[in-house]
Amino acid sequence: MTSRLSQIASHLVPESLNHHHHHPAGAKTGIKSDDDVVICCAVRTAITRGFKGGFKDTVPEDLLAEVLIAVRERTKIDPSLVEDICVGNVLQPSGGATTSRMAALYAGYPVETSCYTVNRQCASGLQAVVNIANAIEAGLIEIGIGAGVESMTMGYGPSAMAAKSSEKIPRGSQDAADCQLSMGVTSENVARDFGIDRKAQDEFAALSFQRAALAQKEGRFKDEIVPVRTFIKTTKNSKDSNSSKEDDEGQMKPVTISQDDGIRDGVTFESLSKIRPAFANDGSTTAGNASQISDGAAAVLLMRRRTAKRLGMPIIGKYITSVVRGVSPRVMGIGPAVAIPAVCKKAAIEIKDVDLFELNEAFASQTVYTIKTCGLDTNKVNVNGGALAIGHPLGCTGARQIATLMNELKRRKERIGVVTMCMATGMGAAAIFENEQV
């Protein structure tokens, strides 16, 4: 009876005094509940260079199938328990809906396991994971996989616009017109508007390359990467005029790809400062301080904590919360600077409480801007390098960042991590995860 009275009394307290006002609903950091949405597995392929790297001849659904198989094999989960799979993808025809379903069926998930794709530009892989987490939180499903895949080699066209598009919309709205700007131009806008000079961009890019090279040398990515057996077309030998037709077109050679091949050792501020600007003669964005065009896939298995306990699944961490915020399309790169404070507020934590940030390095300009604006400690941001060195396969990146984040939080025995990125057309996304492998 007393508890019933205190319950009624708490409803009479003005909203401003009610503690729920300060602690938003949903998962809390530092408190375990059977209702938490937990991560049982987070894996990725290597990230390889578009048009040149190890996956240049591998179609995206083959990459996706590999990470879906790895989730099953690493956790020993009965695939028939996985109710839904959401796949982030940006460039595939029709969003890769058909090929992603085919990949799931090939990977051993039954016809009853549903599958769909989502395109939130560069946040697609993160959005896929958040969509599954939301479905679990809402009680729609118990178990699901959020994944991401992109072959920029296969899907990289000159424009994200259809052959025929509206004339009145861009005429009627400058912001709408700015959605069609090339990403490089938006990077130049950020650099110019907010005074991020070439030196700051190249210094940060050099740091990203150096951190990634060290991490790779020390084998820090090994646990999160699923080795992929595939084929690579060797370049044709034009000298030998007697070569058969097949030789002439290059041979398909079997390879196993298990390392990010965009990472280069020995990149320095000096070597980067020699590269010419790519988008404006007097610009500061170059091929060295912009993210690489890449291919890769990643997948994250999620379920309620009580379900994971019942099934004896490994629990590597939990999903806390996420936000997406819009910004002006002409400076789309500033998105994370708006999303990071918003997501921390939603989780009732301070920015300084975050142990590690996986901040997608679309461009050094916007990464440096975000670090400055949010007052981030550089020693907590992309400690193993980021997209400048590793690459940015659009639809895969958000899920890839989760695999890298959970792996590194475990290695450092740290707790709170944020995955964040900007996206084309002007948005920022951020999500908070808590490591439980301490």
CA–CA dist 345, 199 (Å, integer): 33
Out of 41, 86, 115, 122, the active site residue is 122
Q: Is 41 a catalytic residue?
A: no
Identify the residue whose tokens are 């060295």.
288
Q: 142 vs 10, 35, 40, CA distance in Å?
A: 32, 11, 13
Helix (H, G, I), strand (E, B) or coil at 418: strand
Phi, psi of 108 (to 5 degrees): 100, 10
Strand-pair category, 356-359 with 416-423:
parallel
Question: Which residues contact residue 129 at a Cβ distance below 8 angstroms, ignoring those fewer than 6 apart?
Answer: 86, 146, 300, 302, 319, 398, 399, 402, 431
Q: How many C-beta atoms lie closer than 10 Å to residue 135's C-beta? A: 20
Out of 41, 115, 179, 422, the active site residue is 422
Q: Is 179 a catalytic residue?
A: no
Question: Which residues contact residue 150 at a Cβ distance below 8 angstroms, ignoring those fewer than 6 apart?
Answer: 60, 89, 90, 91, 92, 294, 295, 296, 297, 393, 394, 395, 396, 397
CA–CA dist 342, 327 (Å, integer): 13
Residue 407 contacts residue 315 (beta carbons within 8 Å)? no
Of all helices (H) and strands (E), which one includes residue 28?
Answer: none
Out of 86, 374, 392, 396, the active site residue is 392
Q: How many C-beta atoms lie closer than 10 Å to residue 323's C-beta? A: 21
- Residue 248 has which token pair? 């002439």
CA–CA dist 310, 437 (Å, integer): 19
Q: Is 392 a catalytic residue?
A: yes
User: What is the gyration radius of the CA atoms in the chain, in angstroms?
Assistant: 22
Residue 318 contacts residue 37 (beta carbons within 8 Å)? yes
CA–CA dist 70, 124 (Å, integer): 21
DSSP letters of 181-218?
Answer: S-HHHHHHHHHHHHT--HHHHHHHHHHHHHHHHHHHHT
What residues are annotated to the active site?
122, 392, 422
